[in-house]
C-alpha cells in the first residue's frame, strides 16, 4: 500500500435514494481527512453506468428547491480491474484504459437494493477489495425484513407479530395468506420485504384494504411483509459501530424521531422532502430502563445478524417494552442524518467517524471472517 491508502468512494446508484446518496458523497468529500487518505470517486448513474466523477463535482451536489443532484451518465466510464498486485480503478477512453489508480478500500455510500443488500459487497469480495460495512450475508439478511425477523427471533430478540408473503404464496394461495393475516390486529403495515426509505409501505386500517396494499408493496418487491402496527409507540434509533478488535459493539446516544403530523408515519416525504414534519431529538428523552434496553437490543441485534462496521438499529419503544423494527447497514449518512448526529452527540465527530470506519475495514482479514 502507498503511504496513504486510497479510498474508492461509490455513490449514486440506480435506486430511489440516488439523490440522497449524492448529497452523502458531498458530505464525505468535505469531511474525509485529506492528511490520511487519497480518494477516487465513482458514481453509479441512474440506469447503472459506473462513471468517474471529479471531486469538485462531488462537492457541488446539494438538494435545493427545484434542484436534485444526479450522477451524469455521460462522464467517462469507470472500471474496476483486479490485477495481481491489487485493485485499480481506470477510465475507459474509447477502447483504451487510462488513468488507472490503485485503490485500497471501498466506501459504499449506497442505500437499498444493489447497495446495502450484499450485491456490491459480493463484487468487492470477488476483487479482494476491503470495504466499509457489513459483509455479503449480513447485508442481505438486514435488507430482507423477513429474514431479519427470523434471525432476530431465533436469537431471542423481540420483534412484533408479522407474516411473510412470498411471491408464490400470493400467486398460488392468496386465500391462505389472507386467513393468516386475520390473526394480526389492525392497523397493519404492509411493506416490500427488501425495500427502504418507506417506499411502497402502506398503513392499512381495515381488512378491505389489505389486498390492495399487498399489491402496492409487490410493485417494489415480489416478497412482502405484513406487520401488526404498533400504536402509542416512540421511534428510537441507535448508532452501532462493530470492530472485531473489540469484544462488544460500541453504541451511540439514542435519537428519537418525532413525526409531528397527525396520522402520519415516517414516510418518504417526512424522511427527505418535508423535514419540518420531523424532529430528531438527541439524546432521546427516555426513562433509564427503556434507554438501557434499547441500547442492549441494538448491540445484540448487530451481533445476531453478523454486522460489521456500522449499523443503525431502529426500535419501537412501547409501554410493553422495546421491539426491534429494523437494522440498516448503510444508514443515512449526510452530515445532517441521524447516524452521524447521534455519534457526534457521543463525542465522535463526522470526520473521525469516517476515519474510524475506514480504519476498521482496513484492519479486517480477507476471506471468510
Ligand atoms: N409495525 C409498525 N408499527 C408502527 N409503525 C410502523 C411499523 N412498521 C413501520 N412503521 C412506520 O413506517 C416507517 C417505515 O418503516 P420501516 O420498516 O422502517 O421501512 P424502511 O425500511 O422503508 O425504512 C417507520 O419508520 C414507522 O414510522
Ligand atoms: Mg426504517
135-161 pLDDT, tens digit per residue, is 999 999 999 999 999 999 999 999 999
Q: What is the pLDDT of residues 85-134, one digit of tens each?
A: 999 999 998 889 999 999 999 999 998 888 999 999 999 999 999 999 99
**CA-259 nearest atom, ligand 1:** 27
Q: Is 279 exposed, middle or buried (0-12, 13-18, 19+ CB in 10 A)?
A: exposed
Specify whether 249 is located in the same domain as 286. Answer: yes
Give, in order, the Cα–Cα distances in Å from 108 to each of 41, 210, 361: 11, 36, 12
Closest ligand 1 atom number to CA of residue 233: 4
Extract the residue ranges of the chain whose pLDDT is less than 50. Answer: none
Q: DSSP 3-state assignment of 31? A: helix
Mean pLDDT score of the chain: 95
Q: Counting atoms of ligand 1 from 1, which one is nearest the CA of 266?
A: 27
CATH code, 93: 3.40.50.20
Report the separation in Å between the CA atom of 187 and the middle of ligand 1, taken as the mean of its atom positions.
12
- Rounded Cα distance between 323 and 326, Å, is 9
**213 and 345: one domain?**
no
Residue 367 lies in a domain: no
Determine, yes or no, domain membership for 368: no
Q: Point out which residues pair with 105 in neighbouring strands.
A: 7
User: Is 297 contained in some domain?
Assistant: yes
- Indicate whether 369 belongs to any domain: no
Determine which residue's CA is closest to atom 2 belonging to ligand 1: 229
Dihedral over alpha carbons 357, 358, 359, 361 (to 10 degrees): 90
C-alpha triplet 130, 116, 150: angle, nearest 5°: 110
* Closest ligand relative to 228 C-alpha: 1
Same domain, 247 and 332: yes
| Cα of 66 from ligand 2 centre, angstroms | 26
- 241 lies in the same domain as 224: no
CATH number at residue 191: 3.30.1490.20
Instruction: Tell which one of 117, 266, 279 to mutate to probe ligand 1, the residue whose CB is within 8 A of the most ligand atoms.
Output: 266
Going from the Cα of 223 to the center of ligand 1, the distance in angstroms, rounded, reads: 16
219 CA from centroid of ligand 2 (Å): 19
Q: Are residues 224 and 238 in the same domain?
A: no
The sheet with strand 188-192 has its strands ordered as: 162-165, 224-228, 188-192, 202-204
Residue at 246 is within a domain: yes
- Number of residues assigned to the chain: 369
In percent, how much of the chain has pLDDT > 70? 99
* Ligand 1 atom closest to the CA of 314, numbered from 1: 18
Do residues 224 and 333 both lie within one domain?
Answer: no
Cβ burial 296-307 (10 Å sphere, 16+ → b, else e): ebbbbbbebbbb
278 and 167 within one domain: no
81 and 210 share one domain: no
- Distance of alpha carbon 301 from alpha carbon 286, whole angstroms: 20
Cell numbers for 267? 414516510
Q: Looking at the structure, do residues 245 and 206 belong to the same domain, yes or no?
A: no
**Number of folded domains in the chain?**
3
Give yes or no: residues 145 and 291 share one domain. yes
pLDDT of residue 331: 93
Domain range for 180? 162-228
- Residue 2 has a pLDDT of 55
Block residue for cell numbers 396520522: 263
Q: Is 23 inside a domain boundary? A: yes
Which ligand sits nearest to residue 198's alpha carbon?
Answer: 1
Residues with CB under 6 A from ligand 1: 160, 189, 191, 195-198, 201, 227, 229-230, 235, 265-266, 314, 325-326
Residue 186: inside a domain: yes
Are residues 111 and 125 located together in one domain of the fold?
A: yes
Reduced to 3 states (helix: H, G, I; strand: E, B; else coil), residue 119 is helix
Q: Is residue 249 part of a domain?
A: yes
Same domain, yes or no: 84 and 216: no
Q: How far is CA 363 from CA 86, 146, 311, in A?
A: 16, 32, 18
Give the Å distance between the CA of 366 and the centre of ligand 1. Answer: 35
Amino acid at each position: 500500500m502507498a503511504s496513504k491508502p486510497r479510498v474508492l468512494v461509490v455513490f449514486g446508484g440506480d435506486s430511489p435514494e440516488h439523490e440522497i446518496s449524492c448529497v452523502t458523497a458531498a458530505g464525505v468529500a468535505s469531511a474525509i481527512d485529506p492528511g490520511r487518505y487519497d480518494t477516487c470517486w465513482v458514481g453509479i448513474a441512474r440506469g447503472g453506468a459506473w462513471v468517474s466523477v471529479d471531486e469538485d463535482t462531488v462537492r457541488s451536489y446539494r438538494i435545493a428547491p427545484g434542484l436534485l443532484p444526479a450522477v451524469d451518465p455521460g462522464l467517462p466510464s469507470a472500471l474496476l480491474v483486479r490485477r495481481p498486485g491489487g485493485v485499480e480503478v481506470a477510465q475507459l477512453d474509447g477502447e483504451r484504459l487510462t488513468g488507472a489508480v490503485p485503490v485500497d478500500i471501498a466506501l459504499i455510500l449506497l442505500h437499498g437494493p444493489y447497495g446495502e443488500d450484499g450485491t456490491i459487497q459480493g463484487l468487492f469480495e470477488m476483487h479482494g477489495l476491503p470495504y466499509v460495512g457489513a459483509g455479503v450475508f449480513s447485508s442481505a439478511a438486514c435488507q430482507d425484513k423477513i429474514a431479519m425477523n427470523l434471525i432476530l427471533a431465533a436469537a431471542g430478540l423481540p420483534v412484533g407479530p408479522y407474516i411473510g408473503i412470498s411471491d408464490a404464496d400470493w400467486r398460488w394461495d392468496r386465500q391462505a395468506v389472507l386467513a393468516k393475516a386475520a390473526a394480526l390486529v389492525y392497523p397493519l403495515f404492509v411493506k416490500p420485504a427488501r425495500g427502504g426509505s418507506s417506499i411502497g409501505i402502506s398503513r392499512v386500517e381495515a381488512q378491505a384494504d389489505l389486498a390492495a396494499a399487498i399489491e402496492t408493496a409487490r410493485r417494489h418487491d415480489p416478497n412482502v411483509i405484513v406487520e401488526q402496527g404498533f400504536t402509542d409507540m416512540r421511534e428510537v434509533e441507535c448508532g452501532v459501530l462493530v470492530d472485531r478488535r473489540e469484544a462488544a459493539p460500541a453504541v451511540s446516544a439514542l435519537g428519537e424521531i418525532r413525526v409531528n403530523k397527525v396520522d402520519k408515519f415516517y414516510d418518504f416525504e417526512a424522511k427527505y422532502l418535508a423535514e419540518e414534519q420531523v424532529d430528531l431529538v438527541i439524546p432521546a428523552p427516555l426513562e433509564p430502563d427503556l434507554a438501557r434496553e434499547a441500547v442492549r437490543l441494538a448491540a445484540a441485534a448487530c451481533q445476531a445478524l453478523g454486522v460489521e462496521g456500522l449499523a443503525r438499529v431502529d426500535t419501537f419503544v412501547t409501554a410493553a417494552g422495546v421491539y426491534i423494527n429494523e437494522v440498516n447497514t448503510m444508514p443515512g449518512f449526510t452530515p445532517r442524518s441521524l447516524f452521524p448526529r447521534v455519534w457526534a452527540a457521543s463525542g465522535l465527530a463526522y470526520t473521525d467517524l469516517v476515519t474510524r470506519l475506514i480504519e476498521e475495514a482496513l484492519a479486517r482479514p480477507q476471506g471468510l471472517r
